[in-house]
């Protein structure tokens, strides 16, 4: 066997690592992909699934409020998404008098539907390749900074050209794929009059809380219902009492037939980001410079928040959404580190990089990829410690201490023209105070200062922290106590008057909270700037590595990393072995609610009337073959953040569930996907309908949807 043939065999043997993963661009699916899906159970034709000229299934999928996905289920703009995707809206409308988080929300009439400020829904109209236009005449022998400047200019030109062809209700955006080796222009219709229609109690929508988050088995009814409104011409419009429910191009039918082990399943949604082509050096940096500091900082902050939330319903309402958001990525980071180690991802990446190096060495006449791996190694290794310090600062102050985050927003608004500041203050600053508890933030500030001092070398600490430490002799609680007695940031009226008048802004600049913010900001920016050369190396190396991989294996269909654009993933429903000698079934039922139910634990306590409904077992058409009701199920679909609320379809394109989580074994999935153990967790649509129908008694919703 000659050397080239031997090397080819090595490459082919390694391909299964990639072959079953995929967040696929619909317009790039190959005949081989379609044949595989059809062999697994898909009966829809490609045109019924995706056709940018005729109504098809993708027209029903929405990008929900920038960070989630939803599915249109009626000809009156009704949207199903996750409870945790609507959680911010539910929380924003809750109070001690109307605790929609605790009690749920039901709009029995259209007039009762609640408008949600600043919420948007986007429908994708078209996605068009503009790679040739963007990359045309880009020289190869220029720096990455020069390359990006040229490409940014071309992107602006392409977006401007396409905007001429669309009215201002459309969003036109050029997105990069394959680390800048391909580009598409994505055109969306954006709607901003969104109203809350239905939400189950958090005892259902968040059943299991943080204990069950990222875990299987699950028993969570993670859904909420919203409606898109348009003007009388069915066009996007700001909120108005005269607006009417939107008439969509297409809406998804709903199946209550259920599924079996091995049933075909597919998801369409807007996954946020993945790093499947991350190098071995990048994995080491992710673990040590990003995940480990995040785990530590958020753990400290969340313990302070949780203690206060358990002692006060008012604080619980204020901090429920903040806590959920913080904890989600805290636990994700823990699971990712464990998963990367368990799956030996570092070693697999190193093996692939060796194969790449051997391939490059066999092409002495092609200098394109000679320095690729060195660019990645040098750039990442050199910036690791600096990035770790940056993570500590950002997690402790931007994501940790709320008053410092407020100072950051005030600083941003002050940089705007005076005539815009009042509007920005009313839109961005005033809402902050509704869900803010100064006495709680005071404790967090002291804890964050101590944590940063303990983990950042003294010579790299922000100067203001050094000064505080010296003045208060390490007693950060005393500093926090004095800051919260004097700070202008605790008085919105006073803060507003100072912010709107440049002559008085010096009083804000002398505030201890603002001084601390500016010092941390300056240190963070200096650290960030010091790694710019490293970041340029990493970008160039990553772009060349992905380009080279596709050249190295020209017949292999590599999926592009997720970038918040529409993707499809397909697979099968099925259980899995979580560890040696164990097996997890592919669905859960109401029996699990009874097993986990705990009146003393708010994460597992369910209202009496809901428990009564479960115990009666009068599930009717929502029952499974055994007469019970399925709550959640799993499949080997490739999802990530942003897929929350994504519709799970059967082979006929009917809605069977809503994706809401991954299992503990999937936490490393953003970097490496393993379909045997990494699972997509979905709430069964029959559970959703049962809650709307039997608990909510909301017949008008049931009359809208198309159940098959």
Say how far apart CA 245 and CA 227 lie, in whole Å.
7
Enumerate the H helices of 41-117 as residue ranges: 46-49, 87-92, 100-103
Assess whether 371 carries a catalytic annotation: no
Residue 644 is a catalytic residue: yes
Cα 422 to Cα 424: distance, rounded to the nearest angstrom: 5
Choose the catalytic residue: 212, 222, 638, 661: 222
Q: Catalytic residue among 644, 646, 666, 668, which?
A: 644
Q: How far apart are CA 243 and CA 235, in angstroms?
A: 10
d(CA 230, CA 220): 32
Q: CA dihedral in degrees (305, 307, 310, 315; nearest 10)?
A: -40
Please give the Cα distance from 462 to 491 (Å, whole number).
27
Residue 132 annotated as catalytic: no
Cα gap 228→79, rounded to integer Å:
7
Instruction: Map residue 561 onto helix, strand or coil.
Output: coil
Q: How far, in Å, CA of 238 to CA of 87, rounded? A: 22
Nearest by Cα to 511 from 416, 603, 407, 656: 407
The DSSP secondary-structure symbol of 41 reads: T
Q: Prior bond to 217 cis, omega within 30? A: yes
Helix (H, G, I), strand (E, B) or coil at 104: coil
Residue 680 CA: distances (Å) to CA of 231, 325, 646:
37, 19, 11
Dmax (CA) for the chain in angstroms is 81
Evaluated on CA atoms 352, 358, 359, 365, the torsion sign reads positive
Contact 398, 408 (CB under 8 A): yes
- List Cα–Cα distances, 514 to 142, 311, 391, 501, 675, in angstroms: 41, 30, 20, 17, 48
Cα gap 249→251, rounded to integer Å: 7
Out of 56, 63, 74, 84, pick the active-site residue. Answer: 84
β-partners of residue 224 are 81
Cβ(395)–Cβ(294) under 8 Å?
A: yes
Active-site positions read 84, 222, 644
């Amino acid at each position: 066997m000659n050397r080239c043939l031997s090397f080819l065999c090595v490459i082919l043997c390694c391909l299964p690592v990639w072959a079953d993963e995929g967040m696929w661009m619909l317009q790039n699916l190959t005949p081989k992909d379609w044949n595989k899906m059809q062999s697994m159970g898909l009966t829809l034709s490609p045109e019924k699934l995706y056709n940018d000229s005729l109504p098809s299934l993708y027209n029903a999928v929405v990008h929900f409020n920038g960070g989630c996905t939803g599915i249109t289920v009626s000809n009156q703009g009704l949207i199903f998404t996750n409870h945790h995707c609507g959680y911010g809206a539910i929380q924003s409308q809750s109070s001690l008098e109307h605790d929609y988080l605790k009690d749920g929300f039901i709009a029995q009439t259209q007039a009762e539907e609640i408008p949600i400020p600043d919420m948007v829904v986007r429908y994708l109209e078209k996605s068009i390749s503009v790679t040739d236009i963007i990359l045309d005449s880009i020289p190869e022998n220029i720096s990455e900074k020069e390359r990006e400047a040229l490409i940014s200019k071309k992107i602006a030109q392409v977006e401007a050209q396409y905007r001429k062809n669309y009215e201002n209700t459309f969003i036109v955006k050029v997105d990069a794929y394959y680390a800048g080796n391909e580009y598409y222009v994505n055109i969306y219709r954006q709607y901003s009059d969104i109203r809350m229609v239905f939400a189950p109690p958090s005892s259902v929508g968040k059943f299991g809380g943080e204990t069950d988050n990222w875990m299987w088995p699950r028993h969570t009814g993670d859904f909420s219902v919203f409606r898109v409104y348009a003007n009388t011409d069915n066009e996007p419009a700001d909120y108005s009492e005269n607006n009417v429910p939107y008439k969509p191009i297409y809406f998804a039918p709903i199946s209550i037939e259920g599924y079996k082990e091995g049933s075909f399943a597919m998801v369409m949604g807007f996954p946020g980001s993945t790093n499947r082509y991350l190098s071995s050096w990048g994995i080491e940096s992710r673990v040590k410079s990003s995940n480990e500091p995040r785990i530590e900082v958020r753990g400290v902050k969340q313990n302070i928040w949780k203690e206060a939330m358990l002692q006060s319903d008012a604080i619980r309402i204020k901090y429920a959404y903040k806590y959920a958001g913080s904890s989600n990525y805290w636990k994700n980071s823990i699971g990712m580190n464990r998963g990367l180690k368990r799956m030996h991802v570092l070693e697999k990446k190193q093996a692939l990089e060796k194969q790449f190096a051997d391939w490059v060495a066999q092409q002495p006449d092609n200098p394109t990829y000679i320095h690729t791996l060195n660019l990645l190694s040098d750039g990442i290794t050199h910036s690791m410690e600096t990035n770790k310090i940056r993570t500590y600062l950002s997690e402790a102050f931007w994501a940790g201490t709320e008053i410092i985050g407020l100072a950051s927003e005030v600083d941003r608004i002050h940089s705007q023209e005076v005539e815009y500041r009042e509007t920005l203050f009313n839109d961005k600053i005033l809402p902050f105070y509704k869900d803010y508890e100064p006495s709680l933030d005071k404790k967090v500030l002291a804890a964050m200062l101590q944590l940063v001092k303990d983990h950042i070398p003294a010579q790299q600490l922000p100067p203001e922290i050094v000064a505080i430490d010296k003045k208060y002799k390490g007693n950060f609680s005393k500093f926090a106590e004095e800051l919260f007695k004097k700070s202008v940031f605790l008085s919105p009226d006073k803060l507003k008057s100072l912010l709107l008048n440049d002559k008085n802004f010096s009083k804000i600049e002398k505030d201890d909270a603002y001084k601390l913010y500016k010092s941390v900001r300056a240190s963070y920016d200096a650290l960030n700037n010091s790694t710019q050369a490293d970041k340029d190396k990493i970008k160039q190396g990553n772009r060349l590595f992905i380009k080279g991989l596709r050249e190295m294996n020209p017949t292999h269909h590599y999926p592009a990393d997720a970038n918040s654009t529409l993707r499809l993933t397909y697979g099968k429903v099925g259980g899995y072995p979580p560890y040696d000698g164990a097996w997890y079934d592919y669905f859960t039922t109401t029996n699990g609610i009874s097993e986990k139910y705990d009146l003393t634990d708010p994460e597992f306590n369910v209202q009496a009337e809901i428990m009564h409904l479960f115990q009666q077992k009068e599930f009717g058409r929502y029952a499974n073959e055994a007469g019970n009701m399925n709550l959640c199920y799993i499949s080997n679909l490739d999802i990530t953040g942003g897929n929350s609320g994504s519709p799970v379809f059967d082979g006929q394109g009917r809605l069977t569930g809503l994706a809401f989580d991954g299992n503990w074994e999937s936490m490393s999935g953003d970097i490496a996907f393993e379909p045997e153990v990494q699972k997509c967790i979905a709430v069964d649509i029959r559970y959703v309908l049962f809650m709307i129908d039997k608990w909510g008694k909301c017949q008008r919703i049931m009359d809208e949807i198309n159940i098959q």
